[in-house]
Structure 1
Amino acid sequence: MNPPWPRRGLYAITPDEPDTAKLSTRVETVLEAGAAWLQYRNKTASPSLRREQALALQPLCRRYRVPLIVNDDWRLAAQIGADGAHLGEDDGELAAARAALGDAAILGASCYDDIELARAAAARGASYVAFGAFFVSPTKPNARRADPRLLQQAAPLNLPRVAIGGITPDNARILTAAGADLLAVISSVFDAADPAAAVRAYLSCFDSKPEEETHE
């Protein structure tokens, strides 16, 4: 990852919102509250809607100086000039994405519960590595589970470490203490009664240790 993007903070991932105007309004609330990164993700949208929504989010991200990362589709990221892309294990080769997006792009890799995937991703040009799910996730209830120790094991890669999967302000400190640089969240922010307050609650998790460590 290249400057000026922040290395730590909340990594907000968009919900499957079909209304582009409503999505933009929801996203702006989260960006204004202090989200550090935004990933555009919509698993139910058509290719044309995904392009429309990604383009709509670009000026918002620029206004708030937040990088826009496109989930799964590095080709769409290249087409619209997004700041980067995030790839899962079935979304294509990291090396091809890096060649298309350029050296300055943020290129993320899902590494699930496997440190070897993270090491391979780093070797192939990833800007950050993502592990999870760490807890039961409403978005992916059957996702493989990751151990927080993976975050510590990935420290020698010298890349930002993203934690994802069922993360709440109540359990996030376990992950930040283990080395998570970014907390990736969808529903716990966007479906919260007060999304801005939810963002602030997550940001506070970077300033304190887990409760069990605090009282030692």
Structure 2
Amino acid sequence: MDTPASTDSPAGTSTDAVLRLTAHEAAERLGLPAGSLSVPELARALRDQGASEVVVTGDPHDWLDTAHASGWLTRPRSGPTDHAMRFEAALARGWVAADAAVLARLPEHATALDLPVLSVDETPARWTAPLTHVPALGVYAIVDSAERVRACAEAGAGLIQLRIKARRDDPSLVPEIRAALDAASSHGRTPLVINDHWRLALSLQAPALHLGQEDWLALRPTERTTIAAAQARGLQLGMSSHSLWELCRARGAGADLIACGPVWPTLTKDMPWHAQGLDNLAWWVRMAGRPVIAIGGILAPEQLEQCAATGAATVCVVRGLGNDPRATLPRWQRAWDAGHHHAAPRPAPAWPHPTLTPGAA
């Protein structure tokens, strides 16, 4: 990592009440005997004393208790020894503490073999190896009705997501999802992804499910176990990610597909994230170890072609489908083919750029 000169902060301290220290230093700072509290308890005690964010480093796990993420960050193999300098450098470059903790653990010329995983609770997530081959999936159509699922399936979309923003007890959901599944399976068996409604997706034996990070965090441990059991039977799990720690959490959750967004600014959702751009998208492709979904602000075929040229496994089209996906999808598919088979794929940068302003919720 190309870093500026190290700060002269004493061990166990950082700027603006962001603490990065070992468990021994944390206990010493609190005036407690070593081992008297668990690492998460030490971090909470430091927060209670006024620290805004705490990263407790160890081997092979770091504990994060930050404004944006908490959990065990588990690295797959030995990381850099100059963690303190790299952490401070990332903060100085505008990364929030949770992302700085990820960057501090990545070596020079990092690959997917180096990406840590992040847990959702006090049980460390299991690190699994990246895929050796990531399939190309084509155009990913996102629609809100069974009728539009049928249109996209007839037009040959690579993936289709049914995204219906409705309460889970809405009586129209079951027949609509069932009709969408029938429409997808009867037209070339296009994989249908159900957004959010995981219970119905499992009960109706949908082939794939997509969840946002907040949805995943809101699940009880037993519910996450239920989804994992469905994955073992063949369910594909997609998960959103907008930051480095969310990428690590998606990997720790066992996601089969990981969305990177927004690639460009989008009006579809109100969110605090800066645009990823094609540079971050290419970095996600290199580091995720899973098929990467490009999403957000993709309104023209030229944009889809650029996303495909990064190596993204699939690229989402929402508003660009227009009123008749049967008429619009061929143009998007030509753009996918051009980008996917581009003679000079877009290279990934050495390091990504920040996607959240420090202090943003």
TM-score (norm 2): 0.50
TM-superposed deviation, 1:76: 1.6
Q: What does 1:69-88 align with in structure 2 at a 5 Å threshold?
A: 69-88=193-212
TM-superposed deviation, 1:157: 3.1
Q: Relative to structure 2, which stretch is displaced further, 38-47 or 64-73?
A: 38-47
| Contact 1:73–1:91 (8 Å) recurs in 2 | no
TM-superposed deviation, 1:55: 0.9
TM-superposed deviation, 1:26: 2.7
Q: What does 1:1-216 align with in structure 2 at a 5 Å threshold?
A: 7-15=136-144, 23-44=145-166, 47-64=170-187, 65-93=189-217, 95-96=224-225, 98-103=227-232, 104-112=234-242, 114-140=243-269, 142=271, 144=273, 145-154=275-284, 155-168=286-299, 169-189=301-321, 192-209=322-339
Cα distance between partner residues in 1 of 2:305 and 2:272: 21
TM-superposed deviation, 1:92: 2.3
TM-superposed deviation, 1:143: 5.8
The alpha-carbon distance between structure 1 residues 170 and 143, as it changes in their structure 2 partners (threshold 3 A), is farther
Cα distance between partner residues in 2 of 1:11 and 1:143: 24
The alpha-carbon distance between structure 1 residues 96 and 143, as it changes in their structure 2 partners (threshold 3 A), is farther
Could you list the structure 1 runs, at least 4 aligned residues long, displaced by more than 3 angstroms after superposition: 93-98
Cα distance between partner residues in 2 of 1:119 and 1:34: 32
User: Which SS does the other structure have where 1:200 is aligned?
Assistant: helix
| Contact 2:263–2:294 (8 Å) recurs in 1 | yes
Cα distance between partner residues in 1 of 2:207 and 2:302: 31
Q: Relative to structure 2, which stretch is displaced further, 40-49 or 99-108?
A: 40-49
| Contact 1:110–1:131 (8 Å) recurs in 2 | yes
Which amino acid in structure 2 is aligned with residue 198 of structure 1? T
Cα distance between partner residues in 2 of 1:128 and 1:88: 12
Q: Relative to structure 2, which stretch is displaced further, 56-65 or 153-162?
A: 153-162
TM-superposed deviation, 1:178: 1.6
Specify the structure having the higher radius of gyration (Cα).
Answer: 2
The alpha-carbon distance between structure 1 residues 56 and 119, as it changes in their structure 2 partners (threshold 3 A), is same
Cα distance between partner residues in 2 of 1:205 and 1:42: 27
Cα distance between partner residues in 2 of 1:96 and 1:179: 31
Name the count of aligned residue pairs.
Answer: 198
Identity of aligned residues (%): 29
Q: Which runs of 5+ in 2 are unaligned?
A: 1-134, 346-361
Cα distance between partner residues in 1 of 2:180 and 2:297: 25
Cα distance between partner residues in 1 of 2:174 and 2:260: 27
